[in-house]
Amino acid sequence: MNYGLSDQVRARASASYVRPAASKGKRPFSISVKALLRDLEGSGFPSNHARQVCTALTSGKFLRENELQIEAIDGPPSKNSTTVVVHYKFASPQAQPLKERSDSGKSAAEAPQETPEEWAHRLTGKISGILKEELADYGGGEAFLRWVRGYDEEDSL
């Protein structure tokens, strides 16, 4: 699996900061960009990517995935520096990061890890075939496309 840099940042921040804070019941907690960047660089992440780390830590995707709210951001006015510290709180008192939850009631350690491709396949599998009946009403996929285009290929010959 080839993750983008922001995906790597969000995954490491969730594993190293969010999950431990949730499991310890630590409701407000902070993530230092400098500490996270140092940790990421130790595993091959490119250096001098503070802006990327700051953006990933404040992204809506990261906040939604982990049910977080930003309480404050310490650092320079640009909010893009190794000196930035982001202060979070969980959106609800019993909030757990989404990746820790499991429909079967198993903990994150017991639940199999799902790759983004598997996740997308699982979700699209649920909606595949949703237009099957509609397409059949038009006489199949080709007839449906002719209808969408607004002409019948036989008429244009």
How many CB atoms are closer than 10 A to CB 145?
12
| Same domain, residue pair 90 and 132 | no
| Same domain, residue pair 90 and 146 | no
For the question of whether the overall pTM of this predicted structure is more than 0.75, the answer is no
CA gap 74, 54 in Å, rounded:
11
| Same domain, residue pair 85 and 151 | no
pLDDT of residue 139: 83
As for how many domains the chain has, the answer is 2
| Same domain, residue pair 88 and 137 | no
55 inside domain: yes
Question: Whose CA is closest to 41, among 17, 16, 8, 18?
Answer: 8
Residue 95: Cβ-neighbour burial (10 angstroms; 0-12, 13-18, 19+): middle
**Residue 90 structural domain:** 5-100
Span 75-92, mean pLDDT? 89
41 inside domain: yes
CA gap 12, 18 in Å, rounded:
9
| Same domain, residue pair 54 and 94 | yes
**Final residue in a domain of this structure, among 100, 120, 143:** 100
At residue 143 the predicted structure's pLDDT band, cuts being 50, 70 and 90, is confident
At residue 3 the predicted structure's pLDDT band, cuts being 50, 70 and 90, is low
22 inside domain: yes
**Final residue in a domain of this structure, among 100, 115, 136:** 100
| Same domain, residue pair 72 and 141 | no
| Same domain, residue pair 140 and 94 | no
- Position 92 pLDDT exceeds 90: no
107 inside domain: no
139 inside domain: yes
At residue 104 the predicted structure's pLDDT band, cuts being 50, 70 and 90, is very low
| Same domain, residue pair 29 and 96 | yes
Residue 143, CA atoms < 13 Å, CB-side half-sphere: 7
117 inside domain: no
135 inside domain: yes
110 inside domain: no
